Amino acid sequence: MSEPLTTLEIEKLVAGGLGLARDDSGVVLVRGALPGERVTVTLRSGKGVRQGRVAEVLRRSPDRVDGPELPTADLAHASYDAQLVYKRAFVEEALTRIGKLRHDVADTVPSPEAWHYRNTAQYLITPQGLGYRERRGSAAQVFEDDPLVMAQITAIVRKLDPTALDPAGEVAFRASHKTGEVVAALIGAGEPRTFLRASDHLMDAGVVGVSLAVPAGRRFSAGVQLIAGESEIQEDFGDVQLSISATGFAQVNPPAAALAYRRAAALAGQGDHAVDLYGGTGAIGRHLAPHFRRVTVLDTDPEALARGRKDLAGAPLKNLKFRQGDAALLTEIGADVVVVDPPRAGLDDAARDQLQDSTADRIVYVSCDPATWARDVGDLVRRGWTLGPVTPHDFYPQTSHVEIVSVLDR
């Protein structure tokens, strides 16, 4: 049975890069549409708000361009200048609708590169080639060239025979803008010796190291083992050099992240003690160190803290320390300024309470999710904080994702 078609007028883009339209039955969210367009839409069945995908563009937006259709690039059909405008609007709408605040939002800071910026990729391995999992279902969308990843990764992928990567089900890559090197991780269950042929094939293709990552409930929580070469490479994140791996967390667009980190440090100002909360390996904390007498990087992840300490060993910083813990430690250690860069879920109730009870009179809030950021900022403003400059940053061109750097004072 074919899915029903309908013709709709697109009012605006909302979070997720979806076009919002209305008909007699209510709201429809449309993938692949742009504001001002008239489109024919294939509706899909399901519960909740109706969703669909553009089947035909009847009236084209001047912002529309011919972009690649990839599940990882939900705004590639819009010009890059338009993407920056849309992302600013996402932040404004979240602040108004969720945070219940009216506040100026600066223009989006663009990424230094709009294409071939990603330093990482994780692909399904199929007999036909490497690809991304489709949005709906488990089928892979195979491609020859991925326009989002760095050229060094593409050059290696072109040399690979997918059948030589057996028994791995997926393969992950991480490249360095600093050195041009690439490391890889084969993803699959089994002993490292069963992946030696696949590892040799990757090394022959040009990677400098191969690890084995066993999939588990929490990302690779079953462990990562080195098979050959190096497990890590070096990358610059603004004024800081950090080690990165094929499976560990790191920002995928270091040049864009550098702009946000420098902005966060500028907003933090200077003083006696700054805390980098959710600080991980200390990328932001190390940007703060020249401007404060003491900096403490707080995080609950012991592995991230260990990597940060190792990376710090070669840096001439005596005023920065790593400590395992969360916002509950703020009242114990004290701070003039707290920089928070939480995961997508944002600050929980306890963290906001602890920030409120801390000695800090400034919070620099770095966020990867406008909705949870707006919720948290709205709550903090109602507790007596004053929201200052809000600046969106684009770490993920061709997608609907947007980062935010903001500051609150009391």
pLDDT tens readout for residues 269-283: 999 999 999 999 999
238, HSE (Cβ side, Cα atoms, 13 Å): 18
d(Cα 89, Cα 27) in Å, to the nearest integer? 19
Could you count the other beta carbons within 10 Å of the beta carbon of residue 332? 8
Cβ within 8 Å of residue 86, ≥6 positions away:
13, 17, 75, 78, 400
Give the residue-averaged pLDDT of 9-15: 95
Cβ within 8 Å of residue 313, ≥6 positions away:
none
Domains identified in the chain and CATH numbers? 5-64 (2.40.50.140), 86-113+253-409 (3.40.50.150), 120-237 (2.40.50.1070)
Give the model's pLDDT for residue 2. 58
Give the model's pLDDT for residue 218. 57
Give the model's pLDDT for residue 144. 75
Q: Which residues contribute to the annotated binding site?
A: 251, 278, 299, 341
* Cβ-contact 169, 218 below 8 angstroms: no
d(Cα 208, Cα 219) in Å, to the nearest integer? 23
Give the model's pLDDT for residue 219. 62
Strands laid side by side in the 129-133 sheet: 140-142, 129-133, 120-126, 170-175, 182-187, 209-213, 224-229
Give the residue-averaged pLDDT of 128-150: 80
6 has which bridge partners? 41
pLDDT tens readout for residues 48-107: 889 999 999 999 999 999 988 888 899 999 999 999 999 999 999 999 999 999 999 999
Backbone angles phi, psi at 73, to 5 degrees: -135, 75
Give the model's pLDDT for residue 1. 46
pLDDT at 139 over 80: no
d(Cα 74, Cα 396) in Å, to the nearest integer? 11
Give the residue-averaged pLDDT of 149-171: 96
Peptide bond preceding 167: is omega within 30 degrees of 0, i.e. cis? yes
Q: Which residues contribute to the annotated binding site for S-adenosyl-L-methionine?
A: 251, 278, 299, 341
Q: Following DSSP, what letter does each residue of 291-340 receive, concatenated?
A: GEEEEEEEES-HHHHHHHHHHHTTS--SSEEEEE--GGGHHHH--SEEEE
> Which one from 260, 368, 387, 402 is the annotated catalytic residue?
368
- Biggest CA–CA distance in the chain, Å, is 68
Percent of the chain with pLDDT over 90: 85
d(Cα 400, Cα 190) in Å, to the nearest integer? 37
* Cβ-contact 108, 394 below 8 angstroms: yes
pLDDT at 216 over 80: no
* Cβ-contact 34, 10 below 8 angstroms: yes
Burial 225-241 (b: 16+ CB within 10 A, else e): ebbbbebbbebebbebe
Least confident span in 6-15, 37-46, 110-119, 155-164: 37-46
d(Cα 394, Cα 387) in Å, to the nearest integer? 21
**220 band by pLDDT with thresholds 50, 70 and 90:** low
pLDDT at 137 over 80: no
Give the model's pLDDT for residue 214. 86
* 79 among known catalytic residues: no
